[in-house]
């Protein structure tokens, strides 16, 4: 039998129960559901709303369920909330009914989802901090290793490997900041005690309940507390953006690992070969990461579609969001673990890159800028004239192009047309450019920010009472 419906509605069919039940998906939040119920029972005891001996018996069973909850999924129930209550009744008898006082599945599942999301976001921060540290350490090794950058996938300007790696690191720093914000200001608010939709006559202290579970505030309005899933779509949007950004990086490494480029040496454990072609070395982990971004976008789209035009107040539609959220969060977190290992072990082929950059006119823009400055002419005029020279002479001989450009503007080509690549990089004095000296300062500053973020993370872990390894 099902516990909640039969007194009013009678029995339902197995097909209907299976169709509406979330019991399988609830395995992902069962620990959090039990934690929420423990907080609720403790609060009822502290308020003198249930007998102490009853509360103690229930808490003992709930504590055991935190260690082993498999028995709950052998119970015929609509969801894990009903399964817990039925199991409690089997163990402690009718005294289990005391826990229903002031409690609704609506506020309890919203609280459990926030707890689960909070735990996962802490893991995201931890993982991002690890990856950022690896990127900064590896950047120091490649401060002067040249790397051609592209726009429109066409060769554009000379850069360095360190410049590219710190591009990823700063991007992940921004996502770290976003996740800190979402966790602290969106997710970490308690809906507990809000009842089904409009509160309860039971004298619950919602702030005390929030404190028991480590929340820093409550979702004030009880309608918002029980029926909003904004915290889910905000969280999912940030994580979807993160994996989408990383898919672009994965694409870079896939291209650079091909024999035509040979810019990077991927870790062997990230490669797979062909069942037919024994020479193939396919960068399959980055391919799966690249594909995962599309799956995650699909989950986010599904969540928005479910929420669209859903009337205010709890509806069972919201139950269908949970599996999309948890799949999105867990799969992307797994991708970060893989990405961390890849960054730790990937190496750049410095010889290939050094030979590659001298083949192409990657510093021609820098030369044009220097000519414009030397002859005090508008850059657009020099740009136009340089295009004319390239049309006439082609771009294979950079020295010849440079000398012709200088002749047309009547400026000395001394030192300019024989300038080497490292000298060009040092001419770029703007903050954030691949200038090696500036890059070292940039890396040092980013390491300081990383240390601050790590201490911020440790403080948050301490406040929330989460185990840190």
Task: Copy the structure tokens of residue 44.
Answer: 């009822």
At 8 the pLDDT is 74
Q: Calculate mean pLDDT across residues 390-399.
A: 86
Task: Give the mean pLDDT of the chain.
Answer: 94
Q: What percent of the chain has pLDDT over 70?
A: 98
Task: Copy the structure tokens of residue 189.
Answer: 């608010």
End-to-end CA distance of the chain: 43
CATH of 13-101, one of 3.30.300.20, 1.10.275.10, 1.10.940.10, 2.60.40.10: 1.10.275.10
pLDDT band at 466 (very low <50, low <70, confident <90, very high): low
Lowest-pLDDT choice from 403-412, 428-437, 449-458: 403-412
Interatomic CA distance for residues 423 and 405, integer angstroms? 20
Q: Are strands 146-151 and 217-218 parallel, antiparallel or unpaired?
A: unpaired
Q: Calculate mean pLDDT across residues 350-378.
A: 90
Lowest-pLDDT choice from 101-110, 364-373, 407-416: 407-416
At 2 the pLDDT is 63
Interatomic CA distance for residues 177 and 180, integer angstroms? 5
Task: Copy the structure tokens of residue 399.
Answer: 């020295």
Question: pLDDT tens across 127-153, in order?
Answer: 999 999 999 999 999 999 999 999 999
CB 443 within 8 A of CB 140: yes
Q: Calculate mean pLDDT across residues 108-131.
A: 98
User: For residue 179, which of 123, 139, 221, 230 has the smallest C-alpha distance?
Assistant: 123
Q: Calculate mean pLDDT across residues 58-80.
A: 93
pLDDT above 90 (res 235): yes
CB 370 within 8 A of CB 427: yes
For 157, the 3-state DSSP assignment is: strand
Question: pLDDT tens across 400-409, in order?
Answer: 888 988 889 8
For 105, the 3-state DSSP assignment is: helix
User: For residue 282, which of 307, 306, 249, 257 has the smallest C-alpha distance?
Assistant: 257
Task: Copy the structure tokens of residue 109.
Answer: 């599942």
pLDDT above 50 (res 393): yes
Question: pLDDT tens across 170-191, in order?
Answer: 999 999 999 999 999 999 999 9
At 1 the pLDDT is 46
User: Cα 451 vs. chain centroid, distance in angstroms?
Assistant: 20
At 75 the pLDDT is 82
Task: Copy the structure tokens of residue 78.
Answer: 């609509």
User: For residue 264, which of 142, 359, 424 has the smallest C-alpha distance?
Assistant: 142
User: For residue 131, which of 406, 419, 336 has the smallest C-alpha distance?
Assistant: 336
At 394 the pLDDT is 85
User: What distances in angstroms separate CA 370 from CA 378, 415, 416, 431, one per listed residue?
Assistant: 11, 11, 8, 18
pLDDT above 90 (res 361): no
Interatomic CA distance for residues 52 and 65, integer angstroms? 20
> pTM of the full predicted structure?
0.94
User: What distances in angstroms separate CA 167 from CA 28, 170, 174, one per listed residue?
Assistant: 35, 5, 11
Task: Copy the structure tokens of residue 142.
Answer: 């490649």
CB 158 within 8 A of CB 360: no
DSSP characters for 405-461?
HHHHTT---TTTTT--HHHHHHH--STTS--HHHHHHHHHHHHHHHHHHHHHHHHHH
User: For residue 128, which of 172, 165, 159, 67 has the smallest C-alpha distance?
Assistant: 172
Fold of 110-353: Fumarase C; Chain A, domain 2 (1.20.200)
At 417 the pLDDT is 82
Angle between helices 161-182 and 436-464 (to 10 degrees): 20
Three-class DSSP labels, 211-232: HHCCCCEECCCHHHHHHCCHHH
Most confident of 68-72, 355-359, 400-404: 68-72
At 23 the pLDDT is 86
Of all helices (H) and strands (E), which one includes residue 292?
helix 284-307
Q: What is the CA radius of gyration of the chain?
A: 30
Interatomic CA distance for residues 258 and 246, integer angstroms? 19
pLDDT band at 465 (very low <50, low <70, confident <90, very high): confident
Domain ranges of the chain: 13-101, 110-353, 364-418
CB 282 within 8 A of CB 270: no
pLDDT above 80 (res 395): no
CB 148 within 8 A of CB 159: yes
Residue spans of beta strands (DSSP E) within 152-289: 154-160, 189-190, 217-218, 264-265
pLDDT above 70 (res 35): yes
Question: pLDDT tens across 251-269, in order?
Answer: 999 999 999 999 999 999 9
Angle between helices 105-141 and 161-182 (to 10 degrees): 160
Q: Are strands 189-190 and 217-218 parallel, antiparallel or unpaired?
A: parallel
Residue 162 phi, psi (nearest 5): -60, -40
Query: Comparing 464 with 252, which gets the higher pLDDT?
Result: 252
């Amino acid at each position: 039998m099902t516990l909640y419906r039969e007194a009013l509605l009678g029995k339902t069919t197995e097909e209907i129960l299976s169709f509406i039940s979330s019991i399988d998906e609830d395995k992902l939040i069962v620990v959090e559901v039990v934690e929420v119920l423990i907080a609720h029972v403790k609060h009822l005891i502290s308020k003198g709303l249930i007998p102490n001996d009853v509360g103690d018996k229930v808490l003992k069973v709930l504590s055991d369920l935190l260690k082993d909850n498999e028995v709950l999924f052998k119970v015929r129930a609509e969801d894990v909330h009903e399964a817990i209550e039925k199991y409690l009744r089997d163990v402690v008898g009718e005294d289990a009914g005391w826990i229903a006082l002031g409690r609704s599945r609506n506020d309890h599942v919203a609280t459990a989802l926030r707890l689960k999301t909070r735990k996962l976001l802490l893991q995201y921060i931890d993982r991002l901090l690890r990856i950022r540290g690896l990127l900064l350490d590896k950047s120091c090794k490649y401060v002067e290793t040249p790397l051609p950058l592209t726009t429109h996938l066409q060769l554009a300007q000379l850069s360095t490997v360190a410049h590219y790696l710190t591009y990823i690191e700063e991007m992940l720093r921004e996502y770290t900041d976003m996740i800190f914000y979402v966790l602290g200001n969106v997710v970490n608010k308690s809906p507990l005690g809000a009842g089904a939709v409009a509160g309860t006559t039971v004298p619950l202290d919602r702030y005390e309940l929030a404190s028991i579970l480590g929340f820093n505030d409550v979702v004030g309005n009880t309608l918002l507390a029980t029926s909003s899933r904004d915290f889910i779509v905000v969280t999912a949007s940030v994580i979807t953006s993160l994996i989408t950004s990383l898919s672009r990086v994965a694409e870079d490494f896939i291209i650079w690992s091909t024999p035509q480029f040979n810019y990077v040496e991927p870790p062997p454990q990230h490669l797979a070969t062909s069942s037919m072609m024994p020479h193939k070395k396919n960068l399959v982990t980055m391919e799966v990461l690249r594909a995962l971004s599309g799956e995650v976008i699909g989950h986010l789209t599904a969540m928005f579609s479910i929420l669209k035009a859903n009337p205010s107040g709890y509806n069972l539609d919201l139950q269908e969001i949970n599996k999309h959220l948890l799949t999105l969060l867990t799969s992307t977190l797994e991708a970060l673990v893989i990405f961390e290992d890849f960054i730790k072990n990937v190496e750049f082929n410095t010889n290939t890159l050094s030979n590659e950059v001298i083949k192409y006119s990657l510093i021609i823009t820098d030369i044009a800028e220097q000519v414009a400055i030397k002859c005090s002419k508008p850059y657009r005029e020099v740009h136009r004239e340089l295009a004319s020279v390239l049309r006439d002479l082609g771009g294979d001989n950079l020295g010849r192009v440079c000398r012709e450009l200088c002749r047309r503007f009547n400026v000395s080509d001394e030192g300019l047309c024989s300038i080497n690549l490292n000298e060009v990089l040092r001419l770029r004095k703007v903050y954030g450019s691949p200038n090696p000296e500036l890059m070292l300062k940039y890396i040092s500053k980013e390491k300081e920010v990383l240390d601050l973020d790590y201490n911020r993370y440790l403080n948050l872990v301490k406040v929330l009472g989460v185990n840190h390894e």
